[in-house]
Chains A and B, each alone.
Chain A
Amino acid sequence: MCKTLNRRLFLTGSGALVFGFMFPVQGNAEEQQQQNASSQTGDRWQTHWFQNAFIKIDVHNHVTFLLPNIEIGQGIHTAASMMLAEELEVGFASVSTETFISDLDKNHDFAVQEDFFITYGSGSTAKDWIPLRQAAASLRMMFIQAAAEKFKAVIERCYARNGFVFGPDNHSLPYGALISDIIHLNIPLEVQYKKKTDYQIIGKSHNRMDTELKITGHAVYGMDIRLSNMKTGYMVLSSVKEDQIIDCDDRQTRQVKGVLDVLKRPDGICIVADHYWAASQGAKQLLIQWKGEKESNFTTSFLDQSLKEGLKQTSTILYHNSNQPVVDSLKSLKHQYHWNYQQPMLLHAAIEPISCTVFFHDDQCELWLGSQAPLTVKEQIAQQYSIDKNKIIVHHNVIGGSFGRRLAQDYILQAVHFAKQVAYPLKCIWSREADFQCDSLRSPYYDQVRIGVDSNNKVKAIHHRMMTFVDCKDKNNPINPDYLLGLDSMPYQIENYQFEYTVCEMPCLNFGTGQGREATRNIFVLESLMNRLAFHAQQDPIEYRKALIVDPRAMAVLDLLMQQVAWGKDKSKTIRQGFAMAHVSGSYIAMVIEAELTMTSVIQLHRVDVAVDCGIIVNPDQVIAQVESAVVFGLSDALYGEVQIEKGQVLQRNYNQYRVLRMDDAPVIHVYLASNDEAPSAVGELGTVVAAPALAHALGLIQGKFYESLPLAKQIVQHS
């Protein structure tokens, strides 16, 4: 039996039926997956009784699914629609899906107060698996019940298919004809789910719902917003957070044809023009001096040094799986290794630069934006500008990539602050250069690991210290449970593992969430040291790990990969295979990469084979697509990703300074999916977390070394 969530059934003014229910709002995939496994859903959300997802069926049998998940390209709208269509017993093609986030959305004739949505952590399908199917199944059962009454038949002789209920004696009725009947029924407490063997939709690859719109150029991204009387704002900002302008001469800027105004705040300038080009030409004429540039001694080396200084500070133990102090374990072991790992700051570098359109009019604030948490700013806007939250209207755009960038709210608030100064809709655009310059950077990391192995070279103890920067507002409450992503769930049994961290406050830069979150850092460290331990033990890295794996699913995904890959058949001195695996957010991934490093220092990524266990798979081809995508993203960062700082400013300003893989660089990728009945778990970021350690392994074997830092490409020359 599934617990009742907060659900309600109502009719709209136009006579459509709406079934409102609740999606969990946080994308903590592993937690949600654990909840799914125990058949409990939504318990922790009982303090937030609201509906944030709606199944709407009109009298013409058309189904509209309104859900709070943000589609960033990861295919979750399609997956959610598939789950809905399956349990509701409607054709997948009959479902239209929209992000529903506005409580004053005029497109639908009902309104809901909602404050908070967030899509992150590859958690959407996992968190939605039970509540969505439960809602759809409930509705299906109610349609059958209503039809049975009309047919004067017993429910057991009726069934639903393709949006119709069929009964004995060739009776049938479409759902749309039953709306006025089911509104009087009670929502069932016990739900009968469809059996997996009866699935027509789930588990079979389906086309994405948004492909046609996007490939024909008709999808409206934030950059594409066009409104009556709208002007374009070109943002001039600093990498240094809350930097101050100490001098600004805009006289030449105002002379540029098309420039209408130069809006000023202490921490930034917005050049307003009829269109982007005019504003950008105006920006070239702007003379501006920042306090941060004049005074800052922030450079990359200063930041590196600050991180390492963290070793002298007190650290906080976040995880320890033994009663014995780890230092004692280490002392008792035959061999100890001391290795340090360093990972740089990274850009998100999504292909659509940041933008946000805001219009203050009457007593309202209207926003057009793309965000992974689109309503978070409402509270701040309401307080700062004394606007009723009901008068803050958010329209959500298609997003051209995020990778965690659009979790931060900075760009939305900056646009709001400038738009408040004018009486027209203002589309604030960050140029590519400004997008890079003002990114919410993935933090740099310094990990120090002390490892102890026994006389058989089996790893027994690891003392792991991590240093990173945090936003100053998080300094007093810095515990981030994501710090353990991939570590506390590692597939290996290591008797004494202690993880502790030190956070250093770095108020001058914006730090945010990167692809793979903390797992990207953790798995680079963990898998790099595992590969190195195997080498020192003179053992095959797969066999070395197998002796430590106790998790049957981890072993199974490893076996799945090894069945497909010709492992260990190194082709030449310049072509080697590298390996990494991980258990993150409920999912398991294992990857082999074959890479070549020529004597002309050309790096060629020949082939990637990757096995994934993410539980029940809703849309197989999109799962494969997500894994491929995340692998390429991770390989880009592994080879080239690095942000450098000079005088407090991000040096990298365009893709010629921040290299990413292209078609001629990218490897062929083969993905193998495990098949089981486990609850769905995370997919979207999985490939990223194993990419760097696997590639570092391969390139290191060619060069006879083990990489301890990223990015890799620039180190080829240093270690020839």
Chain B
Amino acid sequence: MLFDKAMITLTVNKQKIELDVSEDMPLLWVLRDLIGLTGTKYGCGIGLCGACTVHLNGRAVKSCSVPVGAVGDKEVLTIEGILDDPIAQKLLKSWTETEPTQCGYCQPGQIMTALALLKENSHPSKNEIIKAMTGHLCRCGTYQRIYKAIQMAAGITEDV
């Protein structure tokens, strides 16, 4: 049969999960369909829209393009697992202040990238924010509110 499976162990949101799964199955679908974490979204399947963004050892990645076999022992963090992170809490708060959310489908992915950015660079410049976030599509077009939310979470009041 095509696509034989293997036993792998993932660490997702600090929990170890054992799965019998084909190693080339994208992490996105493992998360959504096998583990049931549907906060990570499918938008394009080819790494263009960013809706599927999760963290692997703190790095924001497009999970639709990461075969689960490549995850190894890296820690997977999804939108469901960020609530106790202090920087994430600032982002979630600033997201409710600037209100970029409309349909909301792309927002978890945007927040995951914003979180990785602020963890690496607590005071990003305008260009650094834009460069980090350009991998995301928002069909509702709320980019300037997303930008302001990131600035607000970082305590930035002016463009630099």
User: A residues touching B (Cβ–Cβ < 8 Å)?
Assistant: 72-75, 207-208, 210-221, 223-224, 226, 232, 252, 255-258, 274-278, 281, 285, 349-353, 398-403, 431-433, 621-622, 625-626, 628-633, 636, 654-656, 660-664, 666, 668-669
Residue of A216, A432, A632, A661 ringed by the most chain B CB atoms within 10 A: A216
Which chain A positions have C-beta within 8 A of B131? Answer: 664
Which chain B positions have C-beta within 8 A of A663? Answer: 130, 133-134, 136, 143, 146-147
Cα A661 to Cα B133 in complex, Å, equals 12
Task: Known A211-B95, A277-B29, A631-B141; judge A400-B103 contact (CB<8 A).
Answer: yes
Which chain A positions have C-beta within 8 A of B92? Answer: 212, 215-216
Smallest distance from the beta carbon of A653 to chain B beta carbons, Å?
A: 10
Contact status B139-A350, CB under 8 Å? yes
Contact status B134-A629, CB under 8 Å? no
Cα A668 to Cα B107 in complex, Å, equals 19
Cα A631 to Cα B140 in complex, Å, equals 10
Between A and B, 15 residue pairs with Cβ closer than 8 Å are A73-B140, A215-B104, A219-B104, A276-B29, A276-B32, A351-B103, A351-B139, A399-B103, A401-B105, A432-B43, A636-B141, A655-B48, A661-B141, A663-B136, A663-B147
Asked whether any CB of chain A lies closer than 8 Å to the CB of B144, the reply is yes
Contact status A73-B134, CB under 8 Å? no
Closest to B105 in A: A400
Task: Known A224-B38, A281-B3, A655-B48; judge A660-B137 contact (CB<8 A).
Answer: yes
Contact status A666-B33, CB under 8 Å? no
Asked whether any CB of chain A lies closer than 8 Å to the CB of B4, the reply is yes
B142 contacts which of A256, A629, A636 (Cβ < 8 Å)? A629
Contact status B104-A73, CB under 8 Å? yes
Asked whether any CB of chain A lies closer than 8 Å to the CB of B153, the reply is no
Contact status A656-B48, CB under 8 Å? yes
Which chain B positions have C-beta within 8 A of A352? Answer: 41, 43, 103, 105
Q: Mark B74-103, 1 if CB is under 8 A from A, else 0.
A: 000011100100000000100110010111
Contact status B99-A628, CB under 8 Å? no
Task: Known A74-B102, A223-B42, A275-B29; judge A255-B48 contact (CB<8 A).
Answer: no
Closest to B106 in A: A351
Contact status B137-A217, CB under 8 Å? no
Asked whether any CB of chain A lies closer than 8 Å to the CB of B58, the reply is no
Contact status A210-B104, CB under 8 Å? yes
Cα A502 to Cα B1 in complex, Å, equals 55
Cα A220 to Cα B37 in complex, Å, equals 11
Q: Once A and B bind, how many residue pairs between them come within 8 Å at the CB atom?
A: 192
Contact status A431-B45, CB under 8 Å? yes
Which chain A positions have C-beta within 8 A of B145? Answer: 625, 628
Cα A109 to Cα B141 in complex, Å, equals 39
Asked whether any CB of chain A lies closer than 8 Å to the CB of B138, the reply is yes
User: B residues touching A (Cβ–Cβ < 8 Å)?
Assistant: 1-5, 22, 25-26, 29, 32-34, 36-46, 48-49, 51, 78-80, 83, 92, 95-96, 99, 101-108, 111, 130-131, 133-134, 136-147
Smallest distance from the beta carbon of A123 to chain B beta carbons, Å?
A: 18
Which chain A positions have C-beta within 8 A of B25? Answer: 277
Which chain A positions have C-beta within 8 A of B101? Answer: 73, 208, 210-211, 214-215
Cα A400 to Cα B104 in complex, Å, equals 7
Smallest distance from the beta carbon of A615 to chain B beta carbons, Å?
A: 21
B4 contacts which of A257, A281, A664 (Cβ < 8 Å)? A257
Contact status A72-B103, CB under 8 Å? yes
Contact status B45-A255, CB under 8 Å? no
Smallest distance from the beta carbon of A82 to chain B beta carbons, Å?
A: 14
Which chain B positions have C-beta within 8 A of A256? Answer: 1-3
Cα A701 to Cα B83 in complex, Å, equals 50
Smallest distance from the beta carbon of A156 to chain B beta carbons, Å?
A: 41
Contact status B139-A349, CB under 8 Å? yes
Contact status B141-A257, CB under 8 Å? no
Cα A275 to Cα B44 in complex, Å, equals 17
Cα A30 to Cα B145 in complex, Å, equals 30
Contact status B130-A216, CB under 8 Å? no
Contact status A208-B137, CB under 8 Å? no
A633 contacts which of B1, B36, B44, B141 (Cβ < 8 Å)? B141
Smallest distance from the beta carbon of B54 to chain A beta carbons, Å?
A: 11
Task: Known A257-B1, A277-B33, A398-B104; judge A215-B142 contact (CB<8 A).
Answer: no
Which chain A positions have C-beta within 8 A of B146? Answer: 663
Closest to B38 in A: A224
Which chain B positions have C-beta within 8 A of A633? Answer: 139-141
Contact status B42-A257, CB under 8 Å? no
Which chain B positions have C-beta within 8 A of A73? Answer: 101-104, 140
Contact status A400-B142, CB under 8 Å? no
Task: Known A215-B95, A223-B42, A257-B22; judge A351-B138 contact (CB<8 A).
Answer: yes
Residue of A213, A274, A664 ringed by the most chain B CB atoms within 10 A: A664
Closest to A225 in B: B38
Cα A367 to Cα B5 in complex, Å, equals 33
Contact status A277-B44, CB under 8 Å? no
Closest to A401 in B: B103
Contact status B39-A216, CB under 8 Å? yes
Contact status B39-A255, CB under 8 Å? no
Contact status B107-A215, CB under 8 Å? yes
Contact status B107-A628, CB under 8 Å? no
Closest to A71 in B: B103
Which chain A positions have C-beta within 8 A of B44? Answer: 432, 654-655
Contact status A654-B99, CB under 8 Å? no
Which chain A positions have C-beta within 8 A of B108? Answer: 214-217
Which chain B positions have C-beta within 8 A of A75? Answer: 102
Contact status A217-B38, CB under 8 Å? yes
Closest 8 CB pairs of A and B: A217-B39, A632-B141, A214-B104, A400-B105, A73-B103, A73-B102, A275-B33, A217-B79
